[in-house]
Chains A and B, each alone.
Chain A
Amino acid sequence: MKTKIFFSVAIISSLIIFFVLFKGLQNTNIYTPQVDVKKDIPYFEAKIFDSDIVKNSNEIFQKENFYLLNIWSSWCAPCRYEHPILLKLKDQVNLEIIGLNYKDNIINAKKFLKELNSPYRLILSDENGIIAIEWGAYGVPETFLIHNKRIIKRYVGPLNMNSIIEIKKFIE
């Protein structure tokens, strides 16, 4: 009787341990950022690109229309890929595209914009990457859609044609 109880307890506990570990196997151990987080935009101060003027987030995101904050850099290859897509969104009436130039060399950044055109109404500069951290970003490119000082959608990685359709749906 005693061995029977011991045997069944051993089997049940090994089954439990097996399922816990098996479930753990399916969990990813790579950081996956949450995309659908709706939260207020962070407060920050940033230098305007290629100038010494400092602006804070309340001055930048004033109006009630939609803003697209795009973190980019001239050394980032996917930024080059998504650039034509940003240019397509440039002429949207109620959307303002703001660029955040991430850890870039200013001469290279200017060359990049001269070569590919600028979709941005305003470019901020993030020399040491701290402003990107305020936004919870972890790489380039990354894009945030903002309405009423709240982040309503986040795109990690380059934008594509589907994101254009989605952004247009949001702002209409």
Chain B
Amino acid sequence: MKYLKYILIFLFLFDLNLLSANENNSHSKITKNLRCLICQGQSIHDSDSEFANSIKILVSKKLNDGFSEDQIYIFLKEKYGEWILYDPGYNKNTYFLWLLPLLMFIIGGAIILKRFIIKKN
């Protein structure tokens, strides 16, 4: 009986806490990547507006329903457009944004190669 008490205390301490910590992690990760549409320059996670609070409740609900992170983004993108996401995906408006650094890297590499390595030889 004495041991049972210790075992129960041990289980209560180490069982439930881990689960809720995981949920909070994905919840805050998702809400940090969502833009608050009525309070400019703030994420849903940081904002305390009515709109942001509703989205937070919605994200928790969707996570409980078994939605994945991407499915939640797709759901909200369909409702509010690309603007609600801080991390824009590939589309015709963002090709330039995504490819420019790569292009600059290649051109820069070519210049360095031409200037220093080929000249040296």
The interface-forming segment of B8-16, B19-27, B77-85, B109-117 is B77-85
Given A29-B40, A31-B37, A103-B50 in contact, is the A128-B57 Cβ separation under 8 Å?
A: yes
**Total count of chain B residues near the partner, CB < 8 A:** 16
Residues from 22 to 36 in B contacting A, C-beta threshold 8 Å: 35
* Nearest B-chain residue to A73, judged by Cβ: B50
Candidates A34, A129, A134, A136; contact of B50 at CB < 8 Å: A129
Chain A residues, CB < 8 A from B37? 31, 138
Q: Is A132 an interface residue (CB 8 A)?
A: yes
A54 within 8 A of B: no
Chain A residue contacts of B61, Cβ below 8 A: 130
Q: Is the C-beta of B63 less than 8 angstroms from some C-beta in chain A?
A: no
Closest chain B residue, CB of each to CB of A37:
B81
Main SS class of interface, A: loop
Asked if B98 is at the interface of the complex by the 8 Å CB criterion, the answer is no
B53 close to A129 (CB less than 8 A):
yes
Quick check: B51 and A129 within 8 Å, CB to CB?
yes
When each residue 121-162 of chain A gets 1 if its CB lies under 8 Å from chain B and 0 otherwise, what string results?
Answer: 000000011101111101100000000000000000000000
- The chain B residues found within 8 Å of chain A, CB to CB, are 35, 37-38, 40, 50-51, 53-55, 57-58, 61, 79-81, 83
Residues of A within 8 A of B (CB): 29-31, 33-34, 103, 128-130, 132-136, 138-139
